[in-house]
């Protein structure tokens, strides 16, 4: 296990009616930018809850509505301008990963003199940020407890992450009842996304990371148990609560610190979203089992067999047979139990014409990955996923 510093600065307020903790935001000032998406929070009452608490705490609110899934840099620019114009002290996201990521990028953009896209291209330019807080309405990205913000720029096209500890939310409200209205398709995509975060952190060749590996297996088992329950019974509190907390831990550093993972499927998926604006979790669901088959070999069979035995309860002495069966279980779960389309064509991608460009543009160097991927590997994975 490698050396690491683990610092988790986010105050997590988990459970029913925890929204009252937003009153603590008055410590950061008296004017907040409220950032949200296409209006689900107005339909399900979360908006009214939030506004009630902020009013009670004497916090005035400016609003940035209409953040897109796969938030755009243009929306970030609008938010930055609004914050400057109105003298905003803090940014409060109410929504899923898109609203939260957009808020983080706005928070970093306000004190920065240039264009916010510069910050995405060069994280070292993030020297300061407004305080960020969030109310999570969808269990998926774990953005509530990390310093990452994924922003899309359709002009390039590119979908990239700005990363800074300054962007970790100060307060995150995780009320599972706020996720009861998440539609079936987004619930499934969220489970696929949180599973992918866990896989990306699990499949490393770093030895003796037993703590991280056993925790990751526990998270995966929890997701596999509760994903189908949340689909069958959307208002099952325990299912929503377990998915919410599992999603947070999959990407808050607890299962990655010390094991030095370098991610493989996310960089591929981000190219797909950049070109075709697909739903992040669905793209990952399609890419992940193909990637697993692609990288499975004599050097990698042990962690895959361990995954099969410890997550899926597979038995059998032949590691390679267990590893293949584990990948088959993964496919069945994602495409049958969660009902996600099993290939890129099913996600609406019309042809393979951009796959070469995507492999060329992939921002995330995969040389340090579990299995380094060349340009040809990426094109082959995309071809098989299609
Ligand atoms: O926009 P509204 O009307 O709110 O509807 C949203 C949106 O249509 C809806 N929704 C959310 N909560 C709901 C709800 N509908 C009903 N009831 C609720 N309670 O769900 C749709 C998707 O929302 P979105 O925020 O886009 O989903 P998600 O949380 O999956 O976020 C995806 C974004 O996060 C990025 C992705 O790339 C993508 O841009 N990621 C961020 C990460 C991070 N910051 O660490 C890591 C991830 O790997 C990921 O890349
Ligand atoms: Zn993800």
Give CA–CA dist 50/321, Å, rounded. 52
Helical spans, DSSP H, in the chain? 40-43, 46-56, 73-86, 97-109, 116-121, 184-202, 210-232, 237-250, 265-276, 280-295, 301-312, 319-331, 355-361, 375-385
5 in a structural domain: no
Are 245 and 326 within one domain? yes
Q: What is the pLDDT of residue 363?
A: 67
Q: How many structural domains comprise the chain? A: 2
Are 95 and 200 within one domain? no
Tell me which residue has its CA closest to atom 39 in ligand 1.
70
Q: What is the pLDDT of residue 364?
A: 64
Q: Is 267 in the pocket of ligand 1 (CB under 6 A)?
A: no
Q: What is the pLDDT of residue 163?
A: 96
Are 214 and 140 within one domain? no
Q: What is the pLDDT of residue 366?
A: 65
Give CA–CA dist 310/289, Å, rounded. 18
Q: Is 139 in the pocket of ligand 1 (CB under 6 A)?
A: no
Are 140 and 240 within one domain? no
Q: What is the pLDDT of residue 368?
A: 74
Q: Which ligand has its closest atom nearest to the C-alpha of 141? A: 1
Are 173 and 212 within one domain? no
Q: What is the pLDDT of residue 362?
A: 81
Q: Is 256 in the pocket of ligand 1 (CB under 6 A)?
A: no
**Tokens standing for 128?**
């300061």
Are 199 and 308 within one domain? yes
1 in a structural domain: no
Are 190 and 216 within one domain? yes
What is the arrangement of strands in the sheet containing 11-14, beginning at the earlier edge strand? 11-14, 171-174, 132-136, 90-95, 31-36, 60-64
Q: Is 95 in the pocket of ligand 1 (CB under 6 A)?
A: yes
Query: Under a CB-based contact definition with an 8 Å cutoff, are residues 263 and 364 in contact?
Result: yes
103 in a structural domain: yes
Residue of 69, 135, 154, 159 to mutate, ligand 1, most atoms within 8 A of C-beta: 69
Q: What is the pLDDT of residue 262?
A: 85
DSSP β-ladder status, 31-36 and 132-136: unpaired
Query: Under a CB-based contact definition with an 8 Å cutoff, are residues 123 and 162 in contact?
Result: yes
266 in a structural domain: yes
If phi over 0 gives left and psi between -120 and 50 gives alpha, with beta otherwise, what is residue 168? Answer: beta
What CATH code is carried by the domain that includes residue 37? 3.40.50.1970
Are 239 and 317 within one domain? yes
Are 272 and 352 within one domain? yes
144 in a structural domain: yes
128 in a structural domain: yes
Q: What is the pLDDT of residue 230?
A: 98
Are 133 and 246 within one domain? no
Write out the residue range of the structural domain in which residue 46 sits: 11-178
164 in a structural domain: yes
Are 171 and 187 within one domain? no
Give the Å distance between the CA of 305 and the centre of ligand 1: 32
The answer to pTM > 0.85 is yes
Are 44 and 135 within one domain? yes
Cα 32 off chain centre by? 24
What are the residues whose beta carbon lies below 5 Å from ligand 2 (ion)? 193
pLDDT by residue for the chain (386 residues), tens only, comes to: 999 999 999 999 999 999 999 999 999 999 999 999 999 999 999 999 999 999 999 999 999 999 999 999 999 999 999 999 999 999 999 999 999 999 999 999 999 999 999 999 999 999 999 999 999 999 999 999 999 999 999 999 999 999 999 999 999 999 999 999 999 999 999 999 999 999 999 999 899 999 999 999 999 999 999 999 999 999 999 999 999 999 999 999 999 999 988 899 999 999 999 999 999 999 999 999 999 999 999 999 999 999 999 999 999 999 999 999 999 999 999 999 999 999 999 999 999 999 999 999 886 656 678 899 999 999 999 999 99
90 in a structural domain: yes
């Amino acid at each position: 296990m490698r050396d690491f510093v683990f610092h988790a600065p986010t105050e997590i307020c988990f459970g029913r009616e925890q929204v009252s903790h937003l009153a603590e935001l008055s410590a950061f000032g008296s004017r907040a930018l409220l950032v949200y998406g296409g209006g689900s929070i107005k339909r399900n009452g979360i908006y009214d809850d939030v506004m009630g608490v902020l009013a009670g705490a004497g916090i005035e609110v400016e609003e940035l509505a209409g953040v897109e899934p796969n938030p755009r840099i243009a929306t970030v620019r609008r938010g930055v301008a609004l914050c400057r114009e109105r003298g905003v002290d803090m940014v409060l996201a109410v929504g899923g990963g898109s609203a939260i990521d957009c808020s983080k990028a706005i928070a970093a953009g306000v004190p920065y003199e240039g264009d916010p896209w510069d910050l995405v291209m060069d994280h070292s330019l993030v020297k300061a940020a407004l305080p960020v807080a969030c109310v999570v309405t969808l269990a998926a990205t774990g953005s509530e407890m990390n310093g990452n913000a994924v922003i899309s720029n359709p002009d390039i096209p590119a979908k990239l992450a700005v990363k800074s500890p300054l962007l970790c939310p100060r307060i995150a409200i995780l009320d599972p009842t706020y996720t009861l209205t998440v539609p079936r398709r987004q619930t499934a995509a969220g489970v696929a996304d949180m599973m992918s975060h866990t896989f990306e952190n699990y499949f490393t060749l770093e030895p003796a990371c037993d703590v991280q590996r056993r925790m990751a297996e526990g998270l995966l088992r929890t997701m596999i148990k509760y994903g189908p329950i949340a689909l069958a019974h959307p208002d099952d509190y325990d299912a929503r609560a377990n998915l919410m907390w599992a999603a947070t831990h999959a990407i808050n550093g607890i299962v990655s610190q010390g094991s030095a993972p370098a991610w493989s499927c996310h960089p591929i998926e981000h190219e797909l979203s950049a070109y075709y604006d697909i739903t992040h979790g669905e793209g990952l669901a399609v890419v992940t089992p193909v990637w697993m088959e692609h990288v499975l070999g004599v050097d990698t069979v042990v962690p895959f067999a361990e995954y099969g035995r410890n997550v899926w309860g597979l038995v059998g002495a032949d590691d390679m047979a267990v590893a293949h069966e584990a990948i088959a279980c993964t496919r069945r779960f994602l495409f049958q139990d969660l009902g996600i389309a099993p290939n890129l064509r099913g996600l609406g991608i019309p042809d393979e014409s951009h796959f070469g460009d995507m492999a060329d543009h992939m921002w995330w160097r995969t040389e340090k990955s579990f299995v380094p991927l060349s340009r040809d590997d990426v094109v082959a994975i995309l071809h098989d996923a299609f």
